[in-house]
Amino acid sequence: MNKFIVITSIFPPTEAVKKFAMLSDWQLIVVGDKKSPENWKFNDVVYLSPMVQKKLGFPIINKLPWNSYTRKLAGYLYAIKKGADIIADTDDDNIPYTNWGEDISFEGSFDTINSKSFVNIYKSFSKENIWPRGYPLNKILNEKIPKTSSRKHNIGVWQFLADGDPDVDAIYRLTINKLIFFKKRKKIVLENETVCPFNSQNTFFKKEFFPLLYLPAFVTFRFTDILRGLVAQPILWNYGYKLGFGQATVLQKRNPHDYLKDFESEIPVYLESENVINIAKKAIVPKSAITENLLNVYLALKTEGIVSDKEIETLKLWLKNF
């Protein structure tokens, strides 16, 4: 299998980047930005500098904003052009454990949650008061540990957790801000209509669903990967595939953030998560292609004022690659 890791970074090679680069059966792609060091280089890493990105020949590249997390799209397209079968999405502050990237099976029998509602997957891996970014705030006080039963599934996307400073929202960091180390346990799959936000920290996409890698380029930084993940789930269900979660396989030593700026960037996350799922479910046409349904969902989101015309234009350029 051709397996690629995609990271975007504005820093010199970090500890995480160096460790990912050492994985012999994965090809690491680091996507640069205008804030990245001009002489960025590391052994066994494909580095896509701003100049290289412009020469890749993908029309979408010229439409993406600079100094933006969504420059990652250049890395995804590069991996796809090189024949990727699996794309792993992560960040330059996620240090891989020795078991990272192992046991990624996209079919089999897994512990399954079937609650037909939003679930806080962190509750299945921790007893702490913690929730993933994108989880509806009005559900936090009512959440329970979801029950599981074993079922067979085809998996389109795996989200593995991160120890240390995992993906949580600014409200958690401003009020609790406790480091977390999740318990080790079997992987968990979410049944149709059972939703949990997933992010871009430690996530594996199966080839058939590479179109769903699209990161909305004209929403806020803290909304982009959460919106992507919410849109993806009803589309996965439509084709008989599921979203799965696994135990932590990275340690996040988070790059510096301003929590109040994160909070401001997360306002659409707090307000729109449940709405996005409802819009997506109504917009999907059962027998249409994945690319068509991705566009259908974003057109519906535009009608509701969640994304802009500019987003639709950029998405259409992305979809020309499939």
Look at the block and give the residue holding tokens 């052994």.
43
Distances (CA, A) of 207 to 84, 106, 220, 322: 7, 11, 27, 11
pLDDT confidence of residue 145: 83
Number of domains within the chain? 2
Do residues 23 and 139 both lie within one domain?
no
Beta bridge partners of 244: 158, 189
Domain of residue 202, residue span: 93-319
Do residues 121 and 49 both lie within one domain?
no
What residues of the chain score a pLDDT lower than 70?
none
Do residues 24 and 157 both lie within one domain?
no
Do residues 225 and 127 both lie within one domain?
yes
Per-residue model confidence as pLDDT tens digits over 135-167 = 999 999 987 788 999 999 999 999 999 999 999
Do residues 202 and 71 both lie within one domain?
no
Comparing CA positions, the residue from 151, 133, 149 lying closest to residue 242 is 151
Do residues 165 and 88 both lie within one domain?
no
Do residues 119 and 249 both lie within one domain?
yes
**Exposure letters 67-98 (e unless 16+ CB within 10 A, then b):** ebbbbbbbbbbbbbeeebebbbbbbbbbbbee
CATH number, residue 14: 3.40.50
Amino acid at 183: K
pLDDT confidence of residue 142: 81
Write down which residue in 54, 76, 92 finishes a domain: 92
Do residues 135 and 265 both lie within one domain?
yes
Do residues 188 and 55 both lie within one domain?
no
